Structure 1
Amino acid sequence: MTARPDGTTGEAAAAALPGQADLVIVGGGMVGVTLGLLLAQRLPALRVVLLEATRFPALDPERPLPYTPGFDARNTALSRRTIQAFTDLGLWPQLQPHATPIHHIHVSDRGHFGLARLNAAEENVESFGQVMENAWLGVVLLAALKRCPSVTVLDGVRVTGLRTAADHAEVSLVAGAPGDRSGQAGGEDAAGRAPEAHVLRAPLVVAADGTHSRSRDWLGLSASWRDYGQTALVTTVATSLPHAHTAYERFTGDGPIALLPLPDEPGAGQPPQTRRSLVWALATAEAERVQALPDADFAAELQRAFGRRAGRFTRVGRRHAYPLQLMVAPQQAVPRALILGNAAHSLHPVAGQGFNLCLRDALVLVEHLAAAVRDGADLGDAARLRAYEAARQQDQAQIIRFSDSLVRGFSSNHPALSLLRNIGLAGFDLMPGAKPALARYAMGLSHV
């Protein structure tokens, strides 16, 4: 019988699973955990259960979280609105040491004359946002959530179904993370027994189980997909020049390159301010070739693609690959359930808006749930969930359109389109209101 990290057996863990909650969150990634924290602060009387298939590793405040599907190798550019949300939760003092502020944004199109710059001081703000590794975000957020008495965190449980009824939603689950003999579909435990399904009921279920959400399918919600034919190579690099808190967005004919400042790594022996996050989007076949290159060859190819603005690329970390797609669920709520985070919309990382948009969704959802509690209303009421959907439509549509247009507009090598976009970049400094408008997008304040 498989033992859980807390020492309980699978059988004992199954017996301890609750049968009822006020709200269930399916998915313990960045969005699901943040939603749990927001609910614990704003609505502490609600009994919230968070379900995550992966078993969370032991938390060490001195080390980043080992990579999990929900807190992976990528880095996140946290907008000012997102930072404010974490400040309101009382968590920013713990997050700040692991984050690096963005004071400058530099946008260019390789091989062309167009260039645009943003300076935080000129916009009268401290920064446009801060860059943080998801693994450090996971350490702080998970530790905080496990201190919340109103939230029960159940990791290592696999959701096998979700259905809605007139007065509640039902989540079917079994104890055991994917990969455990007792937790696989149709599998058996060490004694040859099939895992026993458990049913958890709640007036409302919020599914934040990722881009390929099974909950979305169980709820009968469709999704539209656009495959960009690109894969993002993500790694950490060191440069010969300090980053000076500058975020670069370099568009090339092969795909965009984002180079973001990161905190110094203690004991790494690198000069200050030379550690950076790289997100390099390439056609998928090309990405596979480049990912497999030796470090020196990878750095040389990156140098040719990016240029010398950051100096020489002197070190390259382990590379991770993520396919790039746009996924949007036109409908995100049904009576008793809704989808959130990447289950509702998953964006190309070119504009750095994905998590920030999801966080704004979560903030608005909590406001609607707080109003329902104040009015003594049903949390899963269909009309209230439709009102939440309507409240988020404009912000979602604009950010999705903005991100998608950047990818498609700068991926084309058509001479006429190339000329137009470079005229736009070159004239950026002269267009009244252009810088403040783009700055508000970057800071996540365009709809606040």
Structure 2
Amino acid sequence: MSGANVDQAQPMNGADAHAGAPDQQSTDTSPLASQGGTRPDASKQPGQPPGDAFDFDVTIVGAGPVGLALAGWLARRSATRALSVALIDAREPESAASDPRAIAVSQGSRMILEPLRWPADATAIHRIHVSQRGHFGRTLIDHAEHGLPALGYVLRYGSIVQALAQRVQATPVHWFKSTTAQAPVQENDGVTLRVEHVSGTRTLRTRLLVSAEGGLFHEQQARGGGTRDYGQTALVGTVSVSAPRPHVAWERFTSQGPIALLPTGGARGADFALVWCCTPEEAARRAQLPDDAFLHELGVAFGDRMGRFTKISARAAFPLGLNSVDALVNGRVVAIGNAAQTLHPVAGQGLNLGLRDAHALADALAQHGASPLALAAFARSRALDRRLTIGATDTLARLFTIDFPALGSLRGLALTALEFVPPVKTALARQMIFGQRR
């Protein structure tokens, strides 16, 4: 579901593309099982008239990092403005806690997440090396230049979900697990939402509905704000190298798409998360290669900056595209995170932008309550950051794949020029680390 089309007859899955939430405390498997709260009225039926008592002030559909963070932040702010909050989670208990995939979280995201809980297994990124294959030019971004302990961090997806889930479980947030939400119905004063569980179906009424669910690009319907198929597929996995540079992240642009290597630690700091973007045809061919042949081709594409690639594990692939809503708010429904914008992984901005969405929404709800005024304030506060981040990501994804010699030289000049124009380099880096805040 997107905030721009709230009445389409399709289920809201209740989890983002990768996430669910571990359930280590509750043994109640009914669809209205709550963590730390009471059950809402289970007698409500579909089609009841507006004006009935609300079950919740805010209902969040999606229990990935963005939905969990929003629930946690709202619970922290309950001392100043108490809001009843529900979290709809389609995943089975503990399904996300073991997810081994690596994600990048900026220093700005760490700063807003730490009051909730920060995973212990994060690997710091101290330097980012950006270059392009077959052309001169490169730029380096170092944490010391910006007075930061790190530019960002790499951690397991399961780690951040588990850490946030443990925080939310200790709050009065009502967590409906293994439960799916159907298409919402808007009314003048709220939203009616039908939820389904193997034990039965119930209807909830909420003042505001937040869509924080995700989904991969190729599984989504066009959202109306901008859709683009990049004609690229991302090959992901974990690789080991013979001459590692710990705490250095790499972005290497090629004519088919970028190659990113993110430090994940491991023995001697030799393990890196790989995101290799290429054409769907090449991705299909490479997916069938034996490990040795795959690593050889990766070495040719990336170069020998860290010696040889010696090992690859957990290979997977997924198509890449841009899909964003035009307006974050539609009546009393608001989209955040991957429900609002699915981005190309270049520069690793998707999750960070979604966390800023959630943080700004929590601020607006704490100030204005569960009201249309809060949603209007939220939408205004997010406009500039979304426009700049989506635009920059889309430009990078397309600009460096144009295989034209003269343009390659211009790109090389631009990368090199950043080293000699510190204010521009700093502005770009801080946008990627902190975004725009109002």
CA 31–13 in structure 1, closer or farther in 2 if over 3 Å, else same: closer
Partner of 1:40: 75
Task: Determine if the alignment matches structure 1 residue 114 to structure 2 residue 118.
Answer: no
Give the alignment partner of residue 130 of structure 1, picking from 153, 165, 183: 153
- SS at the partner of 1:280? strand
Deviation at 1:101, TM superposition (A): 1.0
- Structure-to-structure mapping, 1:91-102, within 5 angstroms: 91-92=117-118, 95=119, 97-102=120-125
Equivalences for residues 14-53 of structure 1 within 5 A: 18-19=40-41, 20-43=55-78, 45-53=82-90
TM-score (norm. length: structure 1) = 0.83
Do 1:333 and 1:386's aligned partners in 2 also have CA atoms closer than 8 Å? Answer: yes
The unaligned stretches of length 5 or more in structure 1 are: 59-63, 68-72, 177-181, 183-195, 265-269, 374-378
The answer to whether residue 424 in structure 2 is matched with residue 397 in structure 1 is: no
Would the alpha carbon gap of residues 49 and 118 (structure 1) be closer, same or farther in structure 2, given more than 3 Å must change? Answer: same
Give the 3 Å change call, closer, same or farther, for CA 11–141 of structure 1 in structure 2.
closer
Q: CA deviation at 1:441?
A: 2.4
Question: Alpha-carbon deviation of 1:446?
Answer: 4.7
- The residue number in structure 2 matching 1:261 is 263
Q: Deviations over 1:221-246 (max 9, x none)?
A: 74431011111111111111122211
Q: Residue 327 of structure 2 is aligned with which of 326, 331, 335?
A: 331
CA positional deviation for 1:198: 1.1
CA deviations 1:301-345 (Å, max 9, x no partner) are 111111111211111111121211101100121222111111111
* Corresponding residue of 2:419: 429
Deviations 1:259-302 (A, max 9, x none): 011132xxxxx4x1111111111111211221221111111111
Q: What is the identity, as a one-letter code, of the residue corresponding to 2:248?
A: T
8 A contact 1:161–1:173 mirrored in 2: no
Please, what is the CA RMSD of the aligned residues? 2.4
The gaps in structure 2 that reach 5 residues or longer are 1-22, 42-54
2:98 equivalent in structure 1: 66
Q: Say which structure, 1 or 2, has more relative contact order (CA 8 Å, 6+ apart).
A: 2
Q: Deviations over 1:335-374 (max 9, x none)?
A: 221111111111101011111111111111111111113x
5 Å matches for 1:75-86? 75-86=102-113
Shift of 1:102: 1.0
CA contact (8 A) 2:31 2:179 kept: no
SS at match of 1:430: coil
Partner of 1:227: 229
Q: C-alpha displacement at 1:250, in angstroms? A: 0.2
Q: For 1:189-268, list aligned pairs within 5 A.
A: 196-211=200-215, 222-264=224-266
Report the 3-state secondary structure (helix = DSSP H, G, I; strand = E; otherwise coil) of the residue aligned with 1:319: strand
Which residue of structure 1 aligns with residue 404 of structure 2? 414
CA shift in 2, pair 1:10/1:445, >3 Å: closer
Give the partner amino acid of 1:65.
A
Q: Tell me, what secondary structure is at the counterpart of 2:184?
A: strand
Letter in 2 for 1:403: T
2:53 maps to 1:57: no
Equivalent in 101, 104, 122 of residue 127 of structure 2: 104
* TM-score, structure 2 normalization: 0.84
1:159 aligns with 2:181: yes
What code does the residue aligned with 1:103 have? Answer: H
Question: Which secondary structure state, in structure 1, belongs to the residue aligned with residue 114 of structure 2?
Answer: helix
Query: For the residues of structure 1 that align with 2:28 and 2:115, how far apart are their CA atoms?
Result: 35
Moved more, 155-164 or 39-48: 39-48
CA–CA separation in structure 1 for the residues paired with 2:147 and 2:371: 42
Structure 1 residue 432 displacement after superposition: 4.0
